[in-house]
């Protein structure tokens, strides 16, 4: 792509921050001038150049292979044939026996995610990753929870670059410099274990590395907020406050969820501060915390496949997830290996 030659365009090559000031605020560059008198025009020029680059390099859907089969001997969730999950019991607090099974499923999911992450490299396809996760899940004696959940055609979600979540594995090859989120869930011994992480593909730029690092920090800040007797809104408050320090957007369209014998059980866990989330956390609750953090806007749009969610401005996004148990002192992470 040709570089801009106008003075405004040349100034725009100094990358502006993710969150821009208002016209009459001091300029972000530290000049002491009002933003409208300093960098507003070059920032607008930069945005045009950046948008063109993002459009040219956006992730595009590839060919999706047939749905993989699961051996008859593997216990399956209620939706495996019809694609329609039941509502479950509606309970939010788990029994001690259920917690034991949740720990087992969580550790299995964590092992699968670790091995799948090590498999990531330039040149493989996201369908290759799906085949590997499918195989690993069956070796654990479990069923890949995403498979045919509300019709989802694959065993893992693979979300590349600007894809926020629910990316469908296909024949697109991973490119050097990509980032990819792998969202792994296993149905094992009657319960689900759910976790995800964002991985680097080859040599990744520093801006993307910071996004991934801060997103993991956001997850841990959210987990730190888990305390019995406190409202669920504390989790999103912690996450949003940390993301705001970097000018990042917190995706609002998707949230964490209750989980146990039902993949997506009652309890919604927003990753931004929502004063309406007044439900108090109780000892024995199990749910996911899975912030999706974007370099730019938190607004999203969905592909025609009705699954793949992408950032509206096509800037990169990252995500990390754990399944947690509320304890008397805080949170136990169920999807982390010792």
**CA–CA gap between residue 225 and residue 218 (Å, rounded):** 11
Place of tokens 């993710």: 18
Distance CA 102, CA 121 (A): 31
pLDDT at 131: 98
The region, left, alpha or beta by phi > 0 then psi within -120 to 50, assigned to residue 150 is: left
User: Which residues touch 276 (CB under 8 Å, ≥6 apart)?
Assistant: 233
> What is residue 110's three-state secondary structure?
helix
Q: Where are the domains positioned within the chain?
A: 7-56, 96-333
Beta strands per DSSP E along the chain: 143-144, 157-160, 163-165, 179-188, 191-200, 249-250, 256-258, 265-269, 286-289, 292-294, 300-302, 309-311, 317-319, 322-326, 331-333
pLDDT of residue 14: 61
Residue 203 CA, chain-centre distance (Å), reads 21
At 1 the pLDDT is 34
CATH of the structural domain 96-333, one choice from 3.90.230.10, 1.20.1560.10, 3.90.226.10, 3.40.30.10: 3.90.230.10
Which three-class secondary structure state does DSSP give residue 322? Answer: strand
pLDDT of residue 338: 81
Q: Report residue 31 CA to chain centroid gap.
A: 37
Residue 47 has a pLDDT of 74
Low-confidence ranges of the chain (pLDDT < 70): 1-14
Give the pLDDT confidence score for residue 6 in this predicted structure.
Answer: 39
- What is the value of pTM for the model shown? 0.89
Which pLDDT score, from 0 to 100, does residue 22 have? 87
pLDDT, position 154 = 98
């Amino acid at each position: 792509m040709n570089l801009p030659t106008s003075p405004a365009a040349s100034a725009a090559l100094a990358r502006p921050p993710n969150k821009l000031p208002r016209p009459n605020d001091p300029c972000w560059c530290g000049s002491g001038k009002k933003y409208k008198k300093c960098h507003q025009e070059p920032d607008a020029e930069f945005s045009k150049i950046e948008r063109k680059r993002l459009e040219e390099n956006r992730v595009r859907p590839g060919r999706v292979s047939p749905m993989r089969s699961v051996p008859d001997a593997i216990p399956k969730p209620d939706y495996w044939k019809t694609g329609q999950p039941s509502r479950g019991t509606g309970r939010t607090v788990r029994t001690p026996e259920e917690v034991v099974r949740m720990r087992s499923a969580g550790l299995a999911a964590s092992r699968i995610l670790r091995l799948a992450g090590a498999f990531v490299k330039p040149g493989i396809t996201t369908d290759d990753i799906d085949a590997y996760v499918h195989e690993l899940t069956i070796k654990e004696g479990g069923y890949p929870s995403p498979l045919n959940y509300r019709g989802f055609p694959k065993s893992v979600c693979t979300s590349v670059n600007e894809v926020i979540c629910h990316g469908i594995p296909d024949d697109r090859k991973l490119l050097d410099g990509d980032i990819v989120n792998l969202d792994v869930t296993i149905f094992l011994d009657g319960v689900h274990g759910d976790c995800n992480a964002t991985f680097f593909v080859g040599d990744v730029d520093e801006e993307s590395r910071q996004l991934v690092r801060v997103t993991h920090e956001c997850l841990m800040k959210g987990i730190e907020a888990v305390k019995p007797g406190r409202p669920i809104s504390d989790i999103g408050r912690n996450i949003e406050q940390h993301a705001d320090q970097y000018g990042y957007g917190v995706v609002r369209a998707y949230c964490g969820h209750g989980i146990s014998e039902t993949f997506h059980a009652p309890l919604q866990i927003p990753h931004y501060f929502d004063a309406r989330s007044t439900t108090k956390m109780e000892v024995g609750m199990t749910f996911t915390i899975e912030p999706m953090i974007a370099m730019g806007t938190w607004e999203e749009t969905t592909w025609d496949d009705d699954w793949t969610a992408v950032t509206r401005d096509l800037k990169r996004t990252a995500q990390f997830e754990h399944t947690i148990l509320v304890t008397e002192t805080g949170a136990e992470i169920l999807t982390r290996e010792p």
